Amino acid sequence: MKIGRWMWTFSLAALLGAPALFAAAPSGASVVEGEWLRAMKANDLEAIVACYAPDAILWAPGRAEARGTNAIREAYRGYLTESVVKDVSLAHVDHRDAAGFSAGWGEFTLTLAPKAGGDPIVMRGRFTEVVEKLGGKWLYVADHASADPAPAPAPASK
């Protein structure tokens, strides 16, 4: 009788714990996004750059193409020299993982406070990213962000 009760208790505990055993690991892209968001909100240049593979490519709004660690550092240094990141968020994000790679895409909102003064700049846009697991760590290998286009002009009235 004691064995039966023990088996029932063990089976119930295993059943209740089963969802945790089968919970999906976070997407590689979502892992890097989290690190990048924390680094941006902290205005931490080196932590931002640490999200990128040494040979990564970055296409950022208002900046020239940046290939490799030094160019990516200089692209972000440009933003952080001119402004303070007040907030950054991602929305409508989706991810796909396959064989050591992960892709992500969605929309971003970045609020920058110019160091020279003036109103905050709110930049909205879209992003597409590819991350790869290198040396046990997920890193951006391609990061493309583009600002939302200006609204279309209203049609001329007749």
Which residue reads 């160091």 in tokens? Answer: 115
Residue 82 contacts residue 120 (beta carbons within 8 Å) = no
CA–CA gap between residue 124 and residue 108 (Å, rounded) = 6
Both tokens of 14, joined, read 């295993």
CA–CA gap between residue 7 and residue 22 (Å, rounded) = 22
Does residue 14 come out as left (phi exceeding 0), alpha (psi in the -120 to 50 range) or beta? alpha
- Count CB atoms within 10 A of the CB of residue 106: 16
Measure the CA angle with vertex 33, ends 28 and 39; round to 5°.
135
Whole-structure pTM value? 0.80
User: Sorting pLDDT into bands at 50, 70 and 90, what band is 151?
Assistant: confident
pLDDT exceeds 50 at position 6: no
Q: 68-77, 116-125, 149-158 — which is least confidently predicted?
A: 149-158
Residue among 40, 61, 67 at smallest CA distance from 141: 67
Q: Where are the alpha helices (H) located in the chain, listed in sequence order?
A: 2-22, 28-41, 45-49, 68-82
pLDDT exceeds 80 at position 134: yes
pLDDT > 90: what percent of the chain?
73
Q: What is the dihedral of CA 135, 99, 25, 17, to 10 degrees?
A: -120
Q: If you average pLDDT over residues 7-23, what whole number do you get?
A: 40
How much is the pLDDT for 62?
Answer: 84
